[in-house]
A and B are shown apart, each in its own frame.
Chain A
Amino acid sequence: SAVISQKPSRDICQRGTSLTIQCQVDSQVTMMFWYRQQPGQSLTLIATANQGSEATYESGFVIDKFPISRPNLTFSTLTVSNMSPEDSSIYLCSVASLGPLETQYFGPGTRLLVL
């Protein structure tokens, strides 16, 4: 299994500002994902971070609001732009193991509170 770290682990931000969340994996992985989990809710996929090309966004999520970078196979960032209180959530990075076994491993998450 992959070991995934995220920075920051938590933050409190003011409305209208932006926050960049970093995700680092201890091994090269093909697929990386960003999820949002609002209080008491399950996981909502924001986008798939593609190495060397633009991220693939799910319905309801746009690049201007959630720009994503993936400069290499072990690192990705998610920026939450022009934040509002509705963006308060846990943001999770995950990586997929493919081939003979398909599963996902998650980072510890970033807890974001927007005031």
Chain B
Amino acid sequence: QKEVEQDPGPLSVPEGAIVSLNCTYSNSAFQYFMWYRQYSRKGPELLMYTYSSGNKEDGRFTAQVDKSSKYISLFIRDSQPSDSATYLCAMSGGNQFYFGTGTSLTVIP
């Protein structure tokens, strides 16, 4: 079983839609949860991070962690064409980092 599972997509939505991106994991020791955005031909950019369970909101983005279900989500409200990118989830605990395979998102104008 992989440490982190992420649906690769691709996901295509119309502009203005709410996007939900998800990852599941198996290691209960993970304490830090991150979402990265990667535009084509660029390095991953840290978008959001959370510690332990709960929600964190930043503008149109909300990160949600449910440690009891080992499930994390990233919600994008009012999606824009500029949100078109690959989104990678990542987790860490005890100096070990694990990345999902990434979900490719296209927001259609």
Which residues of chain A have a CB within 8 Å of any CB of chain B? 1, 31, 33, 41-43, 45, 92, 96, 98, 101-109, 111
Are B51 and A101 in contact, CB atoms less than 8 angstroms apart? yes
Question: 22 A-B contacts, Cβ less than 8 Å apart?
Answer: A1-B46, A42-B88, A42-B99, A42-B100, A43-B44, A43-B88, A92-B43, A92-B44, A96-B97, A98-B95, A101-B51, A102-B31, A102-B93, A102-B95, A104-B34, A104-B92, A105-B46, A106-B45, A106-B46, A107-B43, A109-B42, A111-B41
Residues of B within 8 A of A (CB): 31-32, 34, 36, 41-46, 49, 51, 88, 90, 92-93, 95, 97, 99-102
Which residues of chain A have C-beta atoms less than 8 A from B92's C-beta? 102-104
Question: Which residue from A98, A101, A102, A106 sits with its C-beta under 8 Å from B43?
Answer: A106
Interface of B is mostly: strand
Whether B101 lies near A102 (C-beta < 8 A) is no
Residues from chain B with a CB closer than 8 A to the CB of A96 are: 95, 97
| Cβ contacts under 8 Å, B51 to chain A | 101
Taking A42-B99, A96-B95 as contacts, is the C-beta distance between A103 and B32 under 8 angstroms?
yes
Give Cα distance in the complex from A43 to B51, angstroms.
22
